[in-house]
Structure 1
Amino acid sequence: MNILYKGLTFESFFALVLFIGAVLLVNEISRRSKLMSVVIYGILPVVLAAGVFFGVLGSPTGKTWFAWVKVVSALAGVYGFLLIRHTKLGSSKFAAYFPAAILALNIAEAIYREFEVYATYRALTVDAGGVLVQGGVWNLLNGIAGILTIITLTGFVGIRVSNDRTRDMIWPDMTWMYIIGYTLWNFTYVYNCISTRSMYAGFGILLAAIIAEYAFKRGAWLQHRAQILAFYAMFSLSVDFQAATFFQILPTYSPQVLMGLSASSLAVNAGLLAYTLYAVAKTKRNPLRQEVFVHTAGYKATIAANHL
Structure 2
Amino acid sequence: MGFLYEPTSFTIWAIWIFILFSLMAFNEFARSTKWGGIILFFFVPLILTIFVWPKTAAIGNEYGTGTWFNWVKTYSALAGCLGFMAIRYIPSLSKKKWALCFPPLILALNILEAAIRDFQCFTFKAWNGAYVDNLWVMSGPWNIMNGIAGLLNIVTICGWTGIFVSKDKTKDMIWPDMIWPWIIAYDLWNFAYTYNCISDHSFYCGLALLLSCTIPAFFIKKGAWLQHRAQTLSLWIMFVMTVPSFADRIAPVPTTHNPVAFFILSLLSLIANVALAVYQFNKIYKNKLNPFKDEIYKETKAYKQVVEENIKHQGTVHFNA
Asked if residue 76 in structure 1 is aligned to residue 79 in structure 2, the reply is yes
- Between the two proteins, the alignment pairs up a number of residues equal to 306
Shift of 1:207: 0.7
SS in 2 for 1:6: coil
Query: Contact between 1:158 and 1:171, CA under 8 Å: does it hold in 2?
Result: yes
Matches within 5 A, 1:60-71: 60-71=63-74
Query: Contact between 1:114 and 1:189, CA under 8 Å: does it hold in 2?
Result: yes
Runs (5+) with no aligned partner, structure 1: none
Instruction: Give the counterpart letter for 1:242 in structure 2.
Output: A
Shift of 1:215: 1.9
Q: Aligned residue for 2:123?
A: 119
Range moving further from structure 2, 8-17 or 56-65 = 56-65
Asked if residue 85 in structure 1 is aligned to residue 88 in structure 2, the reply is yes
Q: Aligned residue for 2:319?
A: none
RMSD between aligned alpha carbons?
A: 1.5
Shift of 1:96: 2.3
Instruction: Give the counterpart letter for 2:139 in structure 1.
Output: G
1:283 & 1:302 partners in 2: Cα distance? 22
2:105 & 2:53 partners in 1: Cα distance? 30
Shift of 1:250: 1.3
Shift of 1:209: 0.5
Matches within 5 A, 1:254-265: 254-265=258-269
SS in 2 for 1:250: coil
2:53 & 2:186 partners in 1: Cα distance? 34
Range moving further from structure 2, 12-21 or 43-52 = 43-52
Runs (5+) with no aligned partner, structure 2: 313-321
Asked if residue 202 in structure 1 is aligned to residue 206 in structure 2, the reply is yes
Range moving further from structure 2, 88-97 or 253-262 = 88-97
1:143 & 1:55 partners in 2: Cα distance? 32
Matches within 5 A, 1:1-308: 1-53=1-53, 55=55, 60-87=63-90, 88-123=92-127, 124-128=129-133, 130-239=134-243, 240-245=245-250, 247-308=251-312
2:141 & 2:308 partners in 1: Cα distance? 44
Runs (4+) of structure 1 exceeding 6 A deviation are: 56-59
Shift of 1:18: 0.5
2:169 & 2:198 partners in 1: Cα distance? 38
Shift of 1:281: 2.3
Shift of 1:154: 1.0
Deviations 1:133-168 (A, max 9, x none): 111111000000001001111111111111111110
Range moving further from structure 2, 229-238 or 280-289 = 280-289
Query: Contact between 1:218 and 1:302, CA under 8 Å: does it hold in 2?
Result: yes
Deviations 1:56-89 (A, max 9, x none): 7877233211000100110111111011001121
User: Which has a greater percent of helix?
Assistant: 1
SS in 2 for 1:290: coil
Range moving further from structure 2, 253-262 or 54-63 = 54-63
Pair 259,155 (structure 1): closer, same or farther in 2 beyond 3 Å: same
2:15 & 2:125 partners in 1: Cα distance? 31
Query: Contact between 1:121 and 1:133, CA under 8 Å: does it hold in 2?
Result: no
SS in 2 for 1:14: helix
Query: How high is the TM-score relative to the length of structure 1?
Result: 0.95
SS in 1 for 2:2: coil
